[in-house]
Structure 1
Amino acid sequence: MTYCVGIRLNAGLVFLADTRTNAGVDQVSSCRKLSVFENPGERMLVLMTAGNLSISQSVLQIVGEQVGADGLNIWTAPNMHVAARIVGEAVRTVHKQEAATLGEFGVDFNISIVLGGQIKGERCRLFYIYSAGNFIESHDENTYFQIGEAKYGKPILDRVVTPQTSLDDAAKCALISMDSTLRSNVSVGLPLDMLVYEDDSLAVTRFVTIDEQNQYFQLLRTSWSQQLKTVFEGIEAPVWDAAPGPAGQVVSASNMHSQPMRVRLPAGMQAGEVLAPMQALAGQAGTRLQQ
């Protein structure tokens, strides 16, 4: 599986991807999922993929080489919207070539793509491209996109990231998001590829592959875990059946009348009575016969 996140900020872009492609008891493999299309001083684009690896590699090959009917490709697209359209067309091309055959073997056509970057003359932009080749663009209301195992790392992004977030803070947030995913899902794994792009640089300036020995990532993992525990322990325990009042930690007051949904006792059984398993089965059989 996969976890990738791309973040669009006023200051630039942050991309982070894991490299695990298969996880099991006796087979773990890796493949890099973050690719860069760079013409220094003119454009810098990043493409991250999740889903079927053979489909992803086929799409990447087409994106890097194919020229469309309009004479444009990823290297000559005049803006990021056209670049996203070119990637979407590559997805459709692979679908036409492979989807039917894959379906015969019970394999779904499954790919998700995050494409982001900057082409000279326009601002940084970020896109999410679906299996059908259609896409959406990130705006201030949705300043990041995730693909793959997104649920574990989403809460920290929602709480922290805004368009005004600095690149370093967004990189830190992305790494915490990845750490949460690594801890909860074995199908996502190290090493990680992280690229931090500063607006208008039009070249890769900060890139790192992070493995188990990376000092900052180990510091972040340890510190985040310890501080989460500290914050957790600092929150008051809930107070039950408290007298009505303004106390902040009351979870249940004496004037509240909450009740669970209870399943009724079997017919003929009294409260507090304990039936042996065979008696219970006999009672159920008798009930069925009466019905």
Structure 2
Amino acid sequence: MTYCVGMRLDKGLVFMSDTRTNAGVDNVFTFNKLFTWATPGERVIAIQTAGNLATTQAVVSLLNERMKAPEDRNPSILEVPTMFQVAKLVGETLKEIVRAQTGEGPVSESQFSATIIVGGQIAGSEPRLFLIYPEGNFIEASKENPYFQIGEAKYGRPILVRGYDPAMTFEQAAKLLLLSFDSTLKANLSVGMPLDLLAYEADSFVIDRAKRFEKDDAYFAALSEHWGNALREAIRSLPDFSF
């Protein structure tokens, strides 16, 4: 399983992904689920993936191949003029891969299905964030729906719902996401560390805020302990209940 979050802020975009796949007692693997491309001064693109690993790896590989393809091939995500076109191209690539693996049109119930978050900025427009469904269609984040979750989303969602603020700093957003992942890690063994974090500042067109939190990361451990203690203290401080 997977847990990934892509989030819009006033300052830009923030992404966090786990790296665990095929979780089991003796069957645990680590694979990247956050991928980035950048043309300094012109565009930054980030993609997060959830679903069938063969499908998501094939999508990323095909996107990379088409960056080096002859001009008579499909355009690449480094050539299209808008983030909308980037999302459209990623969705079409996902449909192409699923169709090739299943031998028929993609359906969301397919064992080869995948869900993808695409975000970034191209010069001349604002940062944008999209959620691409297994069928290849997509929606865009908005003020009313400023973040997307894919994979094992339910355990970490309540923290995002209560804590999100578009005006927060990248550092505050990182703490919020880490707490969301902490709750998910404690509730579901199919999501696991390391965790990959990326913050993109609007109009910078560079990737310079990225960090991987390993299993023994001291800050993550301290944050988790402090959050647990704070929750217990908050429960004790609530008005008393009686039957």
User: Normalization by structure 1: what TM-score?
Assistant: 0.78
Distance 1:122 1:218 in 2: 39
Distance 2:167 2:73 in 1: 37
User: What letter is aligned with 1:64?
Assistant: N
Distance 1:70 1:79, change over 3 A: farther
Q: 2:84 aligns with which of 74, 81, 86?
A: 81
- Deviation by residue 1:188-236 (Cα, 9 ceiling, x = unmatched): 0000110011111101011011112322211211111110111011113
User: What letter is aligned with 2:202?
Assistant: D
User: Normalization by structure 2: what TM-score?
Assistant: 0.93
Match of 1:8 in 2: 8
User: What letter is aligned with 1:37?
Assistant: W
Is the contact made by 2:2 and 2:50 (CA closer than 8 Å) also made in structure 1? yes
Match of 1:97 in 2: 100
User: What letter is aligned with 1:203?
Assistant: V
Bigger Cα displacement from structure 2, 212-221 vs 172-181 = 212-221
Match of 1:200 in 2: 203
Shift of 1:70: 8.5
Match of 1:40 in 2: 40
Match of 1:126 in 2: 129
Q: Structure 1 residue 143 and structure 2 residue 176: aligned?
A: no
Secondary structure, counterpart of 1:232 in structure 2: helix
Gaps of 5+ in 2: none
Residues paired across the two proteins, number: 237
Match of 1:24 in 2: 24
Distance 1:78 1:158, change over 3 A: same
Secondary structure, counterpart of 2:103 in structure 1: helix
Identity of aligned residues (%): 44
Q: 1:209 aligns with which of 204, 209, 212?
A: 212
Distance 1:88 1:26, change over 3 A: same
Over aligned residue pairs, what C-alpha RMSD do you find?
A: 1.9
Q: 1:220 aligns with which of 219, 223, 227?
A: 223
Distance 1:69 1:174, change over 3 A: farther
Match of 1:235 in 2: 238
Is the contact made by 1:143 and 1:161 (CA closer than 8 Å) also made in structure 2? no
Distance 1:88 1:65 in 2: 16
- Deviation by residue 1:108-153 (Cα, 9 ceiling, x = unmatched): 2220000111111111110000111000000000110000000000
Match of 1:265 in 2: none
User: What letter is aligned with 1:111?
Assistant: A
